[in-house]
Structure 1
Amino acid sequence: MHFKLFYRLARQSIAAWIDDYAPSMGAAISYYTVFSIAPLLIIVIAVAGLVWGRDAVQGEIVAQLTGLIGQDGATGVQALIESANKPAAGVIATLISVGVLLVGATTVFAELQSALDRIWDVPPSQKASGIWATLRARLLSLGFILGLGFLLMVSLVFSAGVAAFGGWADGLFPGWELLLQVVNTAISLGISSLLFAMIFKLMPQARVSWRDVWVGAAVTAVLFEVGKALIGLYIGKSSVTSSFAAAGSLVVLLVWVYYSAQIFLLGAEFTWVFAHEHGSLRGEAGTRMAPAAAAAPATAAGSVLAPAVEVPRRSEKADKTVPMLATSAAAPSPARRRTARPTLKQRAIVYGAASGALLLLSFLLKKRLTRQSLAPPPY
């Protein structure tokens, strides 16, 4: 990708990021993430812990969080995990707590879907609604969480392999430490790109091509790695924790999630721009005719249609409103269109997520009941 081309795409992405009010969307994502991070990590630890053990996975996550948001922030997240993972008293209370756990873990993904729908200009008439649509969206979010746990397992496998190779190659040739660091960075970029590609492809209620997704996911992964280092440097050098006293760990978590959300949204905007400039939607980013632009005969004497109004490109418009044609009589509001039936791929994802949810529910329920039976009686 030439520098001039990348510069033009970056400039258009930033303009679209501003037009879509990404800072406000990032604030909403950060708010929901605070309440979703504990149940989300509990499910991820439960999935990855099936292979590596719960304590090992939780220790690895805390170590990664320590490098990202500092010791205070990681300690706060660990306290949230332990508090949310306490066994409840009774079967009914356990079922309720597991249900709240699943709903809380999927809430942030629902907000991510809303943000991506706004970026891809999904009209309200095409958005799925109703109980089944809500349930399907929650199951899809749970499928992403299970996939996140699987990616964590893969990451731990590669990390263990790299560590074993480092122990074997110690002293064999000079510069092997740099080689291991490059390999670790490449693995991290690959896993992040895969995760972002899944979110960009499956989350929005719009047709998104895999060809467009991979380019945007790779750019987002690189931005995320660079931003992760810069955010960690800012948190480490600033006095955010000490300025807010007891709430310092929560503020650090909010700051890190907020700036990470901005990087994610900027990557999603880059994907949108690339798809319309050089991807599968090329040619659709120019001027469009308004829905009522089709010529129609006058229904009454003296009724004159105004000239068709062109909708400007996204980077040039100030809002999302589409001007309609002026007529002598008020145009009737268009009927709500029925949403398209789910495809076979979407059904397979939903059914797979539902099966995984049932297995995870039974596993968590059994685990909580076992803890309750082994807990010492209160005095």
Structure 2
Amino acid sequence: MPLFRKKATPDSPTDLSPVSWWAAVKRSFGEFQDDALPDWAAALTYYSVLSIFPAMLVVISLVGLGGKGLSQDLITNVGQIAPGSVKQVLANALTELQRGQGGAGLVAVLGLLGAIWAASGYVAAFMRASNAIYDVPEGRPIWKTTPIRVAVTLVTLVLLAASAVAVVVSGPIARQVGDLLGLGSAAVTAWSIAKWPVLVLVASFLISLLYWASPNAKQGFKWVTPGGVLALLLWAAASAGFAFYVANFSSYNKTYGSLAGIIIFLVWLWITNLAILLGAEVNAELERGRAIAGGVPEEQEPYVEPRDTRGFDEDEMESLKALKRKDH
């Protein structure tokens, strides 16, 4: 028996009317404070710090399979995705991780597994934030959520490592192809421009994967979502604006001294997480718009069907039973 009425429910947000889209956008900004997105972004920044360095260890280990030269090239190119002082923090961390490698056997494997588990802490935190955004309790048991968080983490790390290798290796390959075809440096220039749309697609996929797997809400996977596109655009604009501010107007160095680079890095992580959360909020409100178009009252929560109710308490189950009775 379906949990909600499906009468005239649009198949996707693209089927919503312009009025419904505008209403979803307005609700998103209203829910920005109601769902405490700045606070969730701060919490996710904490988990980012705990997760990002183990994640970089895994990426460095995977990239290092192609030789130390690839790892060094990755460190050299990391500044292209991070502003100002953030670049130096990441580059220093990657250098230290590269120097710390060299273990072998069981200890190295256990260390890598531990790093993957630590990196998955961010996904676990994002799952809790997503449930708050979708106004749905977490009903999935731990034996179900744990494989999800680890799987999402593994896919993310493998794709990041593959992207890093592609960016590092493809430059020399483009140069060789250009020489063979008589294009010279034009081939390298063309690839330097073309690689960024490819990386944007990878980032869009990873954000969509996070949006799809995290909430306890039934929804189909989409390679590109409105919220994902918004998150990427906001992140790019906010990162550029923040880099400009730090370079020209900020007093971080005077205030924090030698800690300025770390503080700037933390603020940049907070901005990044806030953009991703706002994208998730937009997706959630578009789902609410679909539910409203299908006859569900605007104030009804949850407004999407949960994936699993086994972890619901008595009050939450009673609420679901009441919703089922409304369908008759």
User: TM-score, normalised to structure 2's length?
Assistant: 0.70
Question: Which residue number corresponds to residue 286 of structure 2?
Answer: 274
Question: Which residue number corresponds to residue 41 of structure 2?
Answer: 26
Contact 1:241 1:248 in 2 (8 A): yes
Question: Which residue number corresponds to residue 299 of structure 1?
Answer: none
1:108-257 equivalences in 2 (<5 Å) = 108-124=122-138, 126-130=139-143, 133-134=145-146, 136-156=148-168, 183-211=194-222, 214-237=225-248, 238-257=250-269
Q: 2 CA distance for matches of 1:169 and 1:265?
A: 44
Between 233-242 and 85-94, the greater mean CA deviation after superposition: 85-94
Q: 2 CA distance for matches of 1:5 and 1:335?
A: 28
Question: Which residue number corresponds to residue 297 of structure 2?
Answer: 287
Which amino acid counterpart does residue 205 of structure 2 have in structure 1?
A: L
Q: 1 CA distance for matches of 2:63 and 2:101?
A: 20
Which amino acid counterpart does residue 267 of structure 1 have in structure 2?
A: G
1:65, CA displacement in angstroms?
3.4
Structure number having the greater helix percentage: 2
Contact 1:110 1:141 in 2 (8 A): no
Q: 1 CA distance for matches of 2:61 and 2:19?
A: 46
Question: Which residue number corresponds to residue 64 of structure 1?
Answer: 78
1:267 and 1:285, CA in 2 relative to 1: closer, same or farther beyond 3 A? farther
Q: Which runs of 5+ in 1 are unaligned?
A: 289-309, 315-331, 338-379
Q: 2 CA distance for matches of 1:74 and 1:264?
A: 20
Q: Which runs of 5+ in 2 are unaligned?
A: 1-13, 304-312, 319-328
1:270, CA displacement in angstroms?
1.1
Contact 1:212 1:275 in 2 (8 A): no
Contact 2:60 2:97 in 1 (8 A): no
SS at match of 1:123: coil
1:157 and 1:272, CA in 2 relative to 1: closer, same or farther beyond 3 A? farther
Q: 2 CA distance for matches of 1:64 and 1:267?
A: 25
Q: 2 CA distance for matches of 1:88 and 1:156?
A: 22
1:100 and 1:212, CA in 2 relative to 1: closer, same or farther beyond 3 A? closer
1:116 and 1:333, CA in 2 relative to 1: closer, same or farther beyond 3 A? closer
1:271, CA displacement in angstroms?
1.2
1:113, CA displacement in angstroms?
1.9
1:21, CA displacement in angstroms?
0.3
Between 59-68 and 24-33, the greater mean CA deviation after superposition: 59-68
Question: Which residue number corresponds to residue 53 of structure 2?
Answer: 38
Q: 2 CA distance for matches of 1:210 and 1:133?
A: 17
Contact 2:20 2:289 in 1 (8 A): no
Contact 2:136 2:217 in 1 (8 A): yes
1:152 and 1:139, CA in 2 relative to 1: closer, same or farther beyond 3 A? same
Q: 1 CA distance for matches of 2:28 and 2:90?
A: 33
- Kindly tell me the number of residue pairs found equivalent between the two proteins: 289
Question: Which residue number corresponds to residue 77 of structure 1?
Answer: 90
Contact 1:189 1:225 in 2 (8 A): no
1:104, CA displacement in angstroms?
2.2
Contact 1:197 1:217 in 2 (8 A): yes
Q: 2 CA distance for matches of 1:157 and 1:204?
A: 36
1:162 and 1:90, CA in 2 relative to 1: closer, same or farther beyond 3 A? closer
1:230, CA displacement in angstroms?
1.5
Q: 2 CA distance for matches of 1:264 and 1:79?
A: 26
1:286 and 1:261, CA in 2 relative to 1: closer, same or farther beyond 3 A? same
Between 260-269 and 56-65, the greater mean CA deviation after superposition: 56-65
Q: 1 CA distance for matches of 2:316 and 2:20?
A: 41
Q: 1 CA distance for matches of 2:183 and 2:255?
A: 45
1:61, CA displacement in angstroms?
4.7
Contact 2:78 2:90 in 1 (8 A): no
Q: Which of the two has higher C-alpha Rg?
A: 1
Question: Which residue number corresponds to residue 327 of structure 1?
Answer: none
Q: 2 CA distance for matches of 1:21 and 1:84?
A: 35
CA deviation profile, 1:38-75 (whole Å, cap 9, x unmatched): 11112122223435x444345435533366231x4333
CA deviation profile, 1:86-127 (whole Å, cap 9, x unmatched): 258897765664444233222222212221222122313x13
1:236 and 1:47, CA in 2 relative to 1: closer, same or farther beyond 3 A? same
1:65 and 1:243, CA in 2 relative to 1: closer, same or farther beyond 3 A? farther
Q: 1 CA distance for matches of 2:21 and 2:78?
A: 31
Q: 1 CA distance for matches of 2:173 and 2:109?
A: 39
Contact 2:21 2:286 in 1 (8 A): no
Compare relative contact order (CA 8 Å, sep 6+) and give the higher one, 1 or 2. 2
Question: Which residue number corresponds to residue 106 of structure 1?
Answer: 120
